[in-house]
Amino acid sequence: MRRAYAKQVLAAINVRDPRIEQAFATVRREDFLAPWPWQIFRMPGSYVPTPDADPVYLYTDCLVAIAPDKSINNGQPTPWKPEIRALSPA
């Protein structure tokens, strides 16, 4: 699931770096969030809870609430395209 997420994010931003792909595939997004229920940001400006505690819902190009009342989120990767493309991990 994380490997597919990594491939989709990098394809969307046109990055081909196996080290960055490995980072996206290895780091568990759920480790940076509160326990379920997770809130996914959906337009036009509201959060929708995931139907269950399966982390598959977190592995899309979406914002996941950390503090929805303050609009603090676990970031959506693709808007960070310039920064991700500029990375040159050692």
What tens digit of pLDDT does each residue of 49-73 get?
999 999 999 999 999 999 988 989 9
With contact defined as beta carbons under 8 Å apart, do 57 and 36 qualify? Answer: no
How many folded domains does the chain comprise? 1
Reference 68, options 38, 44, 43, 29; nearest CA is 38
Classify 21 as helix, strand or coil. helix
Q: Please give the pLDDT value at position 86.
A: 86
Range of the domain at 40: 2-86
**Which pLDDT tens digit goes with each residue over 19-33?**
999 999 999 999 999
Span 41-51, average pLDDT: 90
